[in-house]
């Protein structure tokens, strides 16, 4: 009976959404952007950075919701865990792809000596989280 309970809990934990910090970048060839000029690279880096940040926030919220559902389900009524949505959806795949595209754009910008001063999606996310913490502490 204990083995079955352990297997059920393990299956439920694997159904939870991944932490977006743990999602690796997919490989994207820098050759995709070889014909872009520096302005096009900068615009694309900006778009990819913004989209990646939005997806990160959505994936993080989904992960938090899954953790709450798991905790409540384990404490209150464990059969409810069978109804968890969980898992990584298409947004996690897109997030991984966008991280890879940003790296490919950054590599292309370096090769073309564009001198683009753009923040990576990770830097944007870190700054947003620090700003949220300072705002919460001020309240």
Percent pLDDT > 90 in the chain is 19
The answer on pLDDT for 95 being more than 70 is yes
The answer on pLDDT for 7 being more than 50 is no
Burial class (CB within 10 angstroms; exposed 0-12, middle 13-18, buried 19+) of 97: middle
Say if pTM beats, i.e. exceeds, 0.75.
no
**How many other C-beta atoms lie within 10 A of the C-beta of residue 107?**
14
Q: What is the pLDDT of residues 99-131, one digit of tens each?
A: 999 999 999 999 998 888 777 777 777 777 787
């Amino acid at each position: 009976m204990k083995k079955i309970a352990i297997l059920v809990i393990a299956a439920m934990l694997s159904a939870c959404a991944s932490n977006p910090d743990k999602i690796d970048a997919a490989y994207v060839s820098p050759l995709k952007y070889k014909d872009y000029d520096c302005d096009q690279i900068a615009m694309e880096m900006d778009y990819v950075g913004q989209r990646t940040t939005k997806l990160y926030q959505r994936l993080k919220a989904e992960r938090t919701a899954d953790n709450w559902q798991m905790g409540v389900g384990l404490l209150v009524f464990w059969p409810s865990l069978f109804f968890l949505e969980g898992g990584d959806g298409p947004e996690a795949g897109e997030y991984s792809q966008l991280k890879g595209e940003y790296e490919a754009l950054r590599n292309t910008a370096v090769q073309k000596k564009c001198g683009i001063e753009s923040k990576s999606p990770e830097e944007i996310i870190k700054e947003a989280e620090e700003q949220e913490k300072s705002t919460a502490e001020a309240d």
